[in-house]
Structures are given as C-alpha cells and as structure tokens.
A = this chain, B = another copy of it.
Amino acid sequence: MLKVGLLGAGRIGQVHAVNIAGHTGSTLAAVSDVHEAAAAQLAGQFGAQARSSEEILADSSIDAVLIATSTDTHSDLIEAAAAAGKAILCEKPVDLSLQRARACQAATSDAKAPIMIGFNRRFDPNFAALQQAAQSGEIGKAELLSVTSFDPAPPPVSYIEVSGGLFRDMMIHDFDMANFIMGEAPASIAATASAIVDPAIGAAGDVDTAVATLTYADGRIAVIKNSRRAVYGYDQRVELLGSEGLLSAANVLENTVSKSTVAGVTSAKPEHFFLERYMRAYAAEWDAFVGAVANVTEVPVTLADGVTALAMAEAATEAAKTGAPVTLAE
C-alpha cells in the first residue's frame, strides 16, 4: 500500500486526491498547499493530514509524492523529492525554461525511485487505445498523424502573458502525444500561427491559432492544429493514417442523446474541458504510476519525455516566427 503525500490542493489536486484514495494500492496520507485551509479541507475529506511540503518530504513513512503545485515550483520540488527518495508523479510541464528543465533532469539522473511526468492524455482510454492499436500494427506502418486540439475558450490575457506562449503552454501536450504515437521525436518542425481569435492575445505577443508540421527522419509527417477557442467545447482528436488503414480517436461527448426535429439532428457537445474529458485519464495515470512503483517497471512518461516536449515547443515557437522549419537537436 503506497503512502502518498499530495503537494497542492487546488482543482487538479482534488482530482488526484480522489484517485489516490479510491485506488486499492494507495492511500492519501498527507496534503500540503500554500493555502493551509485548502490543504486542511482536502485532507479532512479523506482522513489524511494537512502538513507542509517540507514535512511531507522529510517524513520517511511517505513513499511517494504527487506534485500538483504551480509550474514555477515543479523543478525545485522534483529535485527535493528525488533527493528525499520519494517516488514522484509531477504535473506537466517540468518547467517553462528548457534550460532549467534540463538541469532538473541532470540533477535527478541517478534517483532510484521513479519520476513520472503527468502527461495525462497518454492515459486517456481513447488515445491509449489508438496508440496500442498502432503499436500492434493494426494499420500497418504509420505515415501521417493528425492531432486536433482546441480549447473551449482562451484564458485571460494575464495568464497568456506568463504562460510561455501557445506552443509551450498548450501545444506541448500535442507534441508529447505525437511522440507517444510516433514513438520518437521528429527531425524538424515547421509552424504557422496567428492571433485571430483575440487581438489582445496578439498584442501580448502570443498567438491563438497555430498549425505545426512535424517531419520524421523516415518521411513520416505529423500535423498538429491548435486553437484557443472552440465554442462547442474541448476538441481533442487524433488520427493516424497507416499503410493498412486509419485509426481515429473522436471526441468524448457529454452524453449519447440525440434529438431529431425539423431543425436537424442535434447531439451533445464534447466534454467541456480537461477536467471533464480527462477524468478517466487521471485515474488511469495514477493507476499506471502505482503500477510502476509497485512493480519497479519502467515509468510510462519520463522526465526526459517532459524535456523533449519542451524542446519541441521551443523549436515551434521559433519556426512560427521565421516561417522556416527548425531542425531538432538529437
């Protein structure tokens, strides 16, 4: 039974708390948060203790920590938790700075306990099934990947300003998805982007609509489309053309009801945003982490995976500015 300390009791921390407590192989032992009241309330619901992060890391009875704090603390907490010998599941991204992320990777390179990055979408049952089918050769050799990833609405410009930009903040998920499905990083990335959804986003130096084209050493191609606004909900689809067929993962709809009237046939919208769409993914992610710790198997998403996705985001940011493809370092 894995004893877990949860660092961060915000919205995503609450999702993780239910999964930790509801899993037959883990218990929620302690919760920390910069807002002590939030930690206390969440801990109370599950019979856990509210403590500081430092106390949790110092407690040798705690086996693992789930880091769900703000992005700027991730690298430091990963390093501290690794030094304390904890198994780690850290929310993405590792860091907004590629340099800092690489330093974190170097600093933890000989950690004995597993370190896993929470690219939750890999655990979405739909994308996981697609990846599994592709890997099993069900459509032969992969040739052309398409990832559609639209948010329901843009975040406030105040968030945009500190987000690192669309490629680091949003498309980073899709870069990891491409790596997950294609099995490797691409050779180069080209990108086109504009601020067409909201001029204020452009004024803040960012874009809100973007297309990246990834080319692989063997001629495979991947296309990623991002928009900060899809008024009908969170649009999260993946499609892979192979030599023997096509795999498609469609959206998850709010329900299966359709209404046929003189106006047409109306179905439900996609699940509204990531908390709804990826609820099952978070549970599966936690299950994978518990399994990796228990069985000392390879972790399914490594710190290196997190660094690679960040490097791709940086390359795409540059490519969108220059118009020319950017070659990725080995």
Given A45-B24, A213-B211, A232-B265, decide whether A143 and B227 contact each other with a Cβ distance below 8 A. Answer: yes
A246: nearest residue on chain B (CB-CB)? B260
Q: Is A3 an interface residue (CB 8 A)?
A: no
- Pick the contact of A261: B210, B244, B256 (CB < 8 A): B244
On chain B, the residues within 8 Å of A227 by CB distance are 143-144, 241
A129–B257 CB distance below 8 A: yes
Which of B150, B219, B230, B232 is close to A195, meaning CB atoms less than 8 Å apart? Answer: B219
Asked whether, in the complex, the Cβ of B267 is within 8 Å of the Cβ of A267, the reply is: yes
- Assess the A247–B259 pair: CB atoms within 8 A: yes
A323: min CB distance to chain B, Å: 5
A266 close to chain B: CB less than 8 A: yes
> Which residues of chain B come closer than 8 Å to A246, judged between CB atoms?
230, 232, 235, 259-261
Q: Which residues in B have their C-beta under 8 angstroms from that of A325? A: 192, 323
Q: Given the known A-B contacts A246-B259, A258-B248, are A144 and B21 also in contact in the complex, defined by CB atoms under 8 Å?
A: no
Q: Could you write out 27 A-B pairs with CB less than 8 Å apart?
A: A126-B257, A133-B257, A138-B261, A144-B211, A146-B148, A190-B190, A190-B323, A192-B215, A194-B215, A194-B221, A196-B218, A197-B243, A209-B221, A223-B225, A230-B260, A231-B244, A231-B261, A232-B262, A245-B262, A246-B261, A247-B258, A249-B255, A250-B256, A251-B256, A264-B269, A266-B266, A323-B324
- Residues of A with Cβ closer than 8 Å to B? 18, 21-22, 24, 45-47, 125-126, 129-130, 133, 138-139, 143-144, 146, 148, 150, 190, 192-197, 209-211, 213, 215, 218-221, 223, 225, 227, 229-233, 235, 241, 243-270, 323-325
